[in-house]
Amino acid sequence: MSDVTLTAARTRTRRAARARRRRRIGDRLVLYALAAIAFVILAGPLLWMISSALKTRTEVLASPPSVLPATPQWGNFSDVFEQVPFARYLLNSALVATVVTVVSLLFHSMAAYSLARLRYPGRNVIFVAILSTLMVPFTVIVVPLFIIVDWLGWVDTYWGLIVPMIPHAFGIFLLRQFYLSLPRELEEAAIVDGASLMRVYWSIVLPLSRPILAALGIFFFLANWNNFLWPLIVTQSSDLWVVQLGIQQFTGQRASQYELIMAASTLAALPTLLLFFVLQRRLVEGIKLTGLKG
């Protein structure tokens, strides 16, 4: 090749490479812009909630609204704890949400594994039956459920707060879909090697489920942390109250203390935010399949 054509070829490649780089940077910029817009829309209102938590009541309801409080009312947070036994509510919520989450994750992953991987008569019918329990609004179940829980003697007890919240088709459905999408190689290899189904479940499937269990764990914890209607119905004394009931205490017959509602909601969101931070690594743990044969 002559020198001229070589240089021309090199220039062409270099120009092409620069163009590719510019396209990549362009793409990246677009992605960052989208991410920023999404951030403003999704996180913006929450920042406004936090700023409202630090305003006085008049400022919260002021129209036009102000972005930042004139002077931050840190006292709102202590007011929340003084006006209602908010610390107790936080503790109750933590207890209920944690127990329900842990027990649910175990039970649901077992049921989902059974529905996804094992064969037995009636399996599909059972799955649809389980799914159909999601189709009746809780509003309507609440009265018969309360009667049943009363018959069990669990009204106004932690049992009543915790146990009825454990069975939930949502978790079973999610995990079943997840297990359906797992490649079977690992499990089949283990079975060929003589492992029992329970061992396969415990030693292979469960560890592989970490991302989805994390996702589901967050969901259950949050759903129970933010639960309002059932705790309202099943408890008679405020010793057992949970966070959302506590927040509702600031809505009054005549006027609500909105700044305290915002402060209490901010406080209530903190533990779950913490939980999310801790768990989110697990969510994106890829399943390392490169070690598999075939």
Q: Does 77 bind other proteins (CB under 8 A)?
A: no
- Whether omega for the bond prior to residue 64 falls within 30 degrees of 0, making it cis, is yes
Binding flags for other proteins, 15-44, as an x/- string (CB under 8 A) = -------------x--xx-xx--xx-xxx-
Please say which residue, 1 or 42, places its beta carbon nearer to other proteins.
42
Among 184, 188, 207, 278, binds other proteins (CB under 8 A): 184
- Which of 8/87 has CB closer to other proteins? 87
DSSP for the chain reads --HHHHHHHHHHHHHHHHHHHHHHHHHHHHHHHHHHHHHHHHHHHHHHHHHHHTS-HHHHH-SSPPSS-SS--THHHHHHHHHS-HHHHHHHHHHHHHHHHHHHHHHHHHHHHHHHH---TTHHHHHHHHHHGGGS-HHHHHHHHHHHHHHTT-TTSHHHHHGGGS--HHHHHHHHHHHHHS-SHHHHHHHHTT--HHHHIIIIIHHHTHHHHHHHHHHHHHHHHT--HHHHHH-SSGGG--HHHHHHTTS-SS---HHHHHHHHHHHHHHHHHHHHHHHHHHT-----TT---
Choice between 18 and 123, CB closer to other proteins: 123
The answer to whether 53 contacts other proteins (rule: CB under 8 A) is no
For residues 129-148, which are near other proteins according to CB under 8 A? 130-137, 139-148
Region binding other proteins by CB under 8 A among candidate stretches 4-12, 16-24, 69-77, 224-232:
224-232
Instruction: Considering the complex, state which of residue 69 and residue 211 has its C-beta at the smaller distance from other proteins.
Output: 211
Six-digit token string for 38: 């999404």
Q: For other proteins, which is the closer residue by CB, 19 or 273? A: 273
Q: How far is the CB of 213 from other proteins (least distance, A)?
A: 9
Q: Which residues contact 200 (CB under 8 A, 6 or more apart)?
A: 187, 190, 191
The interface region with other proteins, picked from 7-15, 17-25, 69-77, 214-222 by CB under 8 A, is 214-222
C-beta closer to other proteins: residue 73 or 108: 108
Q: State in angstroms the smallest separation of the CB of 207 from other proteins.
A: 14
The answer to whether 224 contacts other proteins (rule: CB under 8 A) is no
| From candidates 53, 55, 93, 108, binder to other proteins by CB under 8 A | 108
Asked whether position 222 contacts other proteins by CB under 8 A, the answer is yes
Q: Enumerate residues 225-254 that contact other proteins by CB under 8 A.
A: 226, 228-229, 232-233, 235-240, 244-245, 247-249, 251-254
If one asks whether residue 102 binds other proteins (CB under 8 A), the answer comes out as no
- The answer to the question of residue 280 lying near other proteins (CB under 8 A) is yes
Q: How far is the CB of 71 from other proteins (least distance, A)?
A: 18
Verify binding: residue 255, other proteins, rule CB under 8 A: yes
d(CA 225, CA 242): 8
User: Considering only residues 187-206, where is the footprint of other proteins by CB under 8 A?
Assistant: 191, 194-199, 201
Characterize 215-232 residue by residue with b for buried, 16 or more Cβ atoms within 10 angstroms of its Cβ, and e for exposed.
Answer: bbbbbbbbbbbbbeebbe
